[in-house]
Chains A and B, each alone.
Chain A
Amino acid sequence: MFELIGISPVLLFGQVLIGLINGVFYAMMSLGVAIIFGMLRIGNFVHGAQYMLGAFGAWYLLHLPDLFPGLGLPSLGYWWALVLVPLGVGLIGALMERLFIRKVYDLEHAYGLLLTVGLAMVIEGIFNVFYGAAGQQYGVPDSLRGGVNLGFMFMPLYRIWVIVAGLVVCAATWYVIERTKLGAYLRAATENPDLVRAFGINVPRMLMLTYAFGVGLAGLAGVMAAPIYQVSPQMGQSIIITIFAVVVIGGMGSIFGAIVTGLMLGVVEGLTKAFYPQGATTVIFIIMAIVLVFRPAGLFGKETSAHQPSDIAAARPESILENGRLWLAVFAVGGSLLPFLVYPVFAMKMLCLALFASAYNLVFGYVGLLAFGHAAFYGSSAYVAAHTASAFGFPTELAILSGVAVATALGGLFGWLAIRRQGLYFAMITLALAQIVYFYAVQASWTNGEDGIQSVPRGHLFGIVDLDQPLNMYFFVLAIFLAGFAAIYRIVRSPFGQVLKSIRENEPRTTSLGYSTDRFKLLAFTLSAGLAGLAGGTKAIVFQIASLTDLYFMTSADALLMTLIGGVGTLLGPVVGAVVVVTMQKELATLGSWVIVVQGAAFVLFVLFLRKGIVGTLEDALARRAERRRRPADAPTAAPVAGDEVAAGKPR
């Protein structure tokens, strides 16, 4: 019967089993993410790293005698790890909540995500320094060796154990939350934390314990995963985005939804592997896109009340640093001198990334949408430009334009799917959609998989100017950057840009004035995607390569990081951020793998201490200085502030 559909039963059941095991891990992980999101409103991007910590924790316990020779420590096996590691990882989670995460509860959601992205980079980066890409082996515990012969296939005992134990853990968690007193506190605090506090419950401590518990679950999943998958620093990174997609499909905030969806999608993934292997890596993300069209709140989620875009722009519109005409002139002059001061290739990298970050800022800074998938536009344009230039022999300018066209179209499509969702959802959805493009590039034939498209010809501009000459190439890139920068400045200072700013500051008011705000957001997103594509296409020509790195989510994170470092919503911020990041990468190149740790730390530090970024902070300082200069003249006569007019802190 199975032969009829062209698949042997062994293969089919084998894949379903693998899918079910993956599903158990998805369920345990997304359960933790869903609980943390429900209670703390934090999109815990560091969950993958915490899962990785769990696996390494088990491995460390096993190798205690080797790690600390001379102390006479015993080697603690799997069962010890199963108990100790979740506690240890949970404790680390509690510490992280205390030290970092607690600081961003009162801030816009975007900061919670940025913070956890930074923490993930730091943790995974450190492990990467010590263990690299190579995985460590962790054996199946002796008591669970062997298996059961089911007749049509051999079922390893350990896998049975994982499925049973994982389901029990999920069910127990569900029971605790839905059926116990402790769970009642959690549910109540999710609905109305203020009132629960007014009943005398220490909600802050509860939040810490909830976070620790969610993280402990990730640690437990890590221990259980150690004997199945390789214990490697990357194991968390590859699962976290899938987990976010699972949570979006299940419906955020739904505990039950997270469990069921996790299991279901694991099996679906397994089946896809059996029937259409090429689709296995993307099937979850494609399901997510489909679910979003028909059930925006997810399969088990309830429609949440819309919450507004985050207004985290740091700009002071009147500041000299926001004068685009002035800075365009400065960049034109400075940019012309730059190749004589630094290597042109280095300068071009800066310009490409500055344009990329500025394009990103258009959405994040000026509309307040936390997009987390701009690598898709940057990278797809790079691939298209590279391919059309090398395979079809397109002239350089046409190759780049083709890239821009594809990125713009992709931006329109992704925007259409995502724009109705806000805050964290928007971030998770754009991230997951971008993964589809990434995995497509991994598998398609024209993209050459891991190798990427190399030796892209630089060609002749308009058939005349030889771009193989470094300076010619440089000035072409400079012209593109200036054009892109001018375009962004114009968009921001256009009738359209005014409406964007109004949406960012008070969306319901803009709606009440008769603007269909979603359409404005969609257009801004599409424009931003096109400009990111311009940066990506240009980059492919400059460096003569398009590779998977361009599409990888870390490229999206880079755009965010540059914008954050420079100053969100400021005109110059992304440019300054790009200069800082590119310089940092160059200067720290000798540190090797530490670069990613330093970048992650920069994320964390800027979120915690310098949210306005370099340019935003500078604009504040300039404004204060101007204020001080004006003051002495009229200070003695300044009227005292009347009661009603007491300068407000941020209204809560």
Chain B
Amino acid sequence: MKADAQDNIIEARALTKRFHGFAAVNDVDLSVRRHSVHALIGPNGAGKTTMFNLITKFLSPTAGTIVFNGEDITPEDPAEVARRGIVRSFQISAIYPRMTVADNVRIALQRPLGTAFHFWKSVRTLDVLDARIDALLEAVGLLGHRDQPAGGLPYGRKRALEFATTLALEPELMLLDEPTSGLGHEDVDRIAELIGTVSANRTILMVEHNLSVVARLADTITVLARGQVLAEGPYAEISQNPEVVDAYIGGSDD
């Protein structure tokens, strides 16, 4: 694995995060290979969401470094990290409820235009983005809801909208925090399919509980338990690993 280290899009080295003396993430090394789908799984409290927050800098690590495309991004703030192309979703669907579905996506698309501070320009100058908005909404099956306030969408569609917004930034690395949680069966399938489609030429790191989704999509799985890496490998390997089985079903008699 060392040989193709530069093929890792992101590397967390010896990452540790303590809250009140309790190490939620403890000395974790995590490397994600470019153009792979990488899943983080583990029991509750294993530190998965904390890892996410550390990588996107919503939390600052107590120790350790994060390297993205060979550059140390540990000291950067969340917005800077996002501008580098690391874009995350949230566990609870993060949308703008009072804005229309199209405006939700437009917020993401307008940043690269560089006019975000232009308070003297008309919002019409953003109309150039319409074609791309429509394409993105089409991709997630929301084109028909284009001009509706996003808050009125059913839950599954909110997640789809969030996905479209994340995708709008053309992220090099997409972090999905439980993309299928709270969804019904059909919605799970739809989102899983979407993830599969967009993973073609980008890297995805996701926290996911739905193991059939993980099995279907993930090239590599890292199992976290008690803030540490328990195992790493492809699904076939992980699912047979006795330690992983223990972590899920309970420690064997000692």
Residue among A313, A498, A513 with most chain B CB within 10 A: A513
Query: Knowing A498-B106, A502-B99 touch, does A513 contact B87 (C-beta < 8 A)?
Result: yes
Whose C-beta in chain A lies nearest to the C-beta of B147? A318
- What is the interface size of chain B, counting residues whose CB is below 8 A from a CB of the partner? 42
Across the interface, do A514 and B98 meet the contact criterion of CB distance under 8 Å? no
Across the interface, do B107 and A514 meet the contact criterion of CB distance under 8 Å? no
CA distance A490 to B120 in the complex (A): 6
Query: Knowing A313-B98, A501-B96 touch, does A508 contact B111 (C-beta < 8 A)?
Result: no
Across the interface, do B90 and A509 meet the contact criterion of CB distance under 8 Å? yes
Closest Cβ–Cβ distance, residue A498 to chain B (whole Å): 6
Task: Please give 19 more A-B residue pairs, beta carbons under 8 A apart, in addition to A495-B126, A505-B96.
Answer: A490-B122, A493-B122, A493-B123, A494-B120, A495-B110, A495-B123, A496-B116, A498-B103, A498-B123, A499-B107, A505-B98, A506-B95, A509-B90, A512-B78, A513-B111, A513-B169, A515-B116, A516-B77, A645-B154
List, in ascending order, chain A residues with CB within 8 A of B131's CB.
none
Residue interface bits A453-491, CB-to-B below 8 A is 1, else 0 = 000000000000000000000000000000000000011
Across the interface, do B82 and A511 meet the contact criterion of CB distance under 8 Å? yes
Chain A interface residues toward B at CB < 8 A = 311, 313, 317, 490-491, 493-499, 501-502, 505-506, 508-517, 519-520, 523, 527, 642, 644-645
Whose C-beta in chain B lies nearest to the C-beta of A527? B119
- Leading 10 A-B pairs by shortest Cβ distance: A514-B82, A496-B119, A509-B94, A645-B154, A505-B96, A514-B83, A516-B79, A495-B115, A491-B119, A493-B123
Across the interface, do B94 and A506 meet the contact criterion of CB distance under 8 Å? yes
Closest Cβ–Cβ distance, residue B180 to chain A (whole Å): 14
Closest Cβ–Cβ distance, residue A530 to chain B (whole Å): 11
Across the interface, do B107 and A502 meet the contact criterion of CB distance under 8 Å? yes
Across the interface, do B155 and A510 meet the contact criterion of CB distance under 8 Å? no
Across the interface, do B82 and A512 meet the contact criterion of CB distance under 8 Å? yes
List, in ascending order, chain A residues with CB within 8 A of B99's CB.
317, 501-502, 505
Closest Cβ–Cβ distance, residue A286 to chain B (whole Å): 29
Whose C-beta in chain A lies nearest to the C-beta of B83? A514
Q: Indicate whether B144 reaches chain A with its CB closer than 8 angstroms.
A: no
Across the interface, do B156 and A644 meet the contact criterion of CB distance under 8 Å? yes
Closest Cβ–Cβ distance, residue A594 to chain B (whole Å): 39
Q: Indicate whether B38 reaches chain A with its CB closer than 8 angstroms.
A: no
Q: Indicate whether B248 reaches chain A with its CB closer than 8 angstroms.
A: no
Whose C-beta in chain A lies nearest to the C-beta of B108? A513
Across the interface, do B82 and A513 meet the contact criterion of CB distance under 8 Å? yes
Whose C-beta in chain B lies nearest to the C-beta of A641? B154
Closest Cβ–Cβ distance, residue A469 to chain B (whole Å): 33
List, in ascending order, chain B residues with CB within 8 A of A512's CB.
56, 58, 78, 82, 87-88, 90, 94
List, in ascending order, chain A residues with CB within 8 A of B126's CB.
495, 498
- Which residues, 12 to 70 on B, are CB-close (under 8 Å) to A? 56, 58
List, in ascending order, chain B residues with CB within 8 A of A644's CB.
154-156, 184
From A501, A505, A642, B154 is in contact (CB under 8 Å) with A642
Contacts A/B (CB < 8 Å), 12 sampled: A311-B98, A491-B120, A495-B126, A496-B117, A496-B119, A498-B107, A505-B97, A513-B169, A514-B82, A514-B87, A516-B77, A645-B154
Closest Cβ–Cβ distance, residue B249 to chain A (whole Å): 29
CA distance A311 to B97 in the complex (A): 11
Whose C-beta in chain B lies nearest to the C-beta of A315? B98
List, in ascending order, chain A residues with CB within 8 A of B98's CB.
311, 313, 317, 501, 505
Query: Knowing A495-B118, A495-B123 touch, does A511 contact B78 (C-beta < 8 A)?
Result: yes
Closest Cβ–Cβ distance, residue B18 to chain A (whole Å): 15
CA distance A646 to B81 in the complex (A): 37
Across the interface, do B118 and A494 meet the contact criterion of CB distance under 8 Å? yes
Chain B interface residues toward A at CB < 8 A = 56, 58, 77-80, 82-83, 87-88, 90, 94-100, 103, 106-108, 110-111, 113, 115-123, 125-126, 154-156, 165, 169, 184
List, in ascending order, chain A residues with CB within 8 A of B156's CB.
644
CA distance A616 to B142 in the complex (A): 29
Closest Cβ–Cβ distance, residue B156 to chain A (whole Å): 7
From B79, B100, B115, B184, A514 is in contact (CB under 8 Å) with B79
Across the interface, do A508 and B90 meet the contact criterion of CB distance under 8 Å? yes
CA distance A297 to B122 in the complex (A): 38
Closest Cβ–Cβ distance, residue A27 to chain B (whole Å): 30
CA distance A499 to B110 in the complex (A): 9
Closest Cβ–Cβ distance, residue B236 to chain A (whole Å): 33
Across the interface, do B108 and A499 meet the contact criterion of CB distance under 8 Å? no
List, in ascending order, chain A residues with CB within 8 A of B154's CB.
642, 644-645
Closest Cβ–Cβ distance, residue B129 to chain A (whole Å): 10
List, in ascending order, chain A residues with CB within 8 A of B165's CB.
513
Closest Cβ–Cβ distance, residue B58 to chain A (whole Å): 7
CA distance A644 to B183 in the complex (A): 9
From A496, A509, A517, B118 is in contact (CB under 8 Å) with A496
Across the interface, do A497 and B97 meet the contact criterion of CB distance under 8 Å? no
Closest Cβ–Cβ distance, residue B132 to chain A (whole Å): 15
CA distance A516 to B100 in the complex (A): 23
List, in ascending order, chain B residues with CB within 8 A of A499's CB.
107, 110, 116
Closest Cβ–Cβ distance, residue B29 to chain A (whole Å): 24
List, in ascending order, chain B residues with CB within 8 A of A642's CB.
154
Query: Knowing A493-B123, A645-B154 touch, does A511 contact B110 (C-beta < 8 A)?
Result: no
CA distance A500 to B196 in the complex (A): 33
List, in ascending order, chain A residues with CB within 8 A of B111's CB.
513-515
List, in ascending order, chain A residues with CB within 8 A of B125's CB.
495
Across the interface, do A523 and B119 meet the contact criterion of CB distance under 8 Å? yes
From A506, A510, A514, B169 is in contact (CB under 8 Å) with A514
Closest Cβ–Cβ distance, residue B57 to chain A (whole Å): 9
List, in ascending order, chain A residues with CB within 8 A of B113's CB.
495
Closest Cβ–Cβ distance, residue A369 to chain B (whole Å): 16
CA distance A498 to B100 in the complex (A): 11
Closest Cβ–Cβ distance, residue A448 to chain B (whole Å): 37
List, in ascending order, chain B residues with CB within 8 A of A497's CB.
119, 123
From B79, B120, B122, A511 is in contact (CB under 8 Å) with B79
From B87, B96, B103, B155, A645 is in contact (CB under 8 Å) with B155
CA distance A313 to B99 in the complex (A): 12
List, in ascending order, chain A residues with CB within 8 A of B56's CB.
512
Across the interface, do B79 and A509 meet the contact criterion of CB distance under 8 Å? no
Across the interface, do A498 and B94 meet the contact criterion of CB distance under 8 Å? no
List, in ascending order, chain B residues with CB within 8 A of A495's CB.
110, 113, 115-116, 118-119, 121, 123, 125-126
Closest Cβ–Cβ distance, residue A495 to chain B (whole Å): 5
List, in ascending order, chain A residues with CB within 8 A of B107's CB.
498-499, 502, 510, 513
Closest Cβ–Cβ distance, residue B63 to chain A (whole Å): 19
Closest Cβ–Cβ distance, residue A484 to chain B (whole Å): 14
List, in ascending order, chain B residues with CB within 8 A of A506's CB.
94-97
CA distance A313 to B80 in the complex (A): 29
CA distance A495 to B103 in the complex (A): 11
Closest Cβ–Cβ distance, residue A638 to chain B (whole Å): 14
Across the interface, do A508 and B94 meet the contact criterion of CB distance under 8 Å? yes
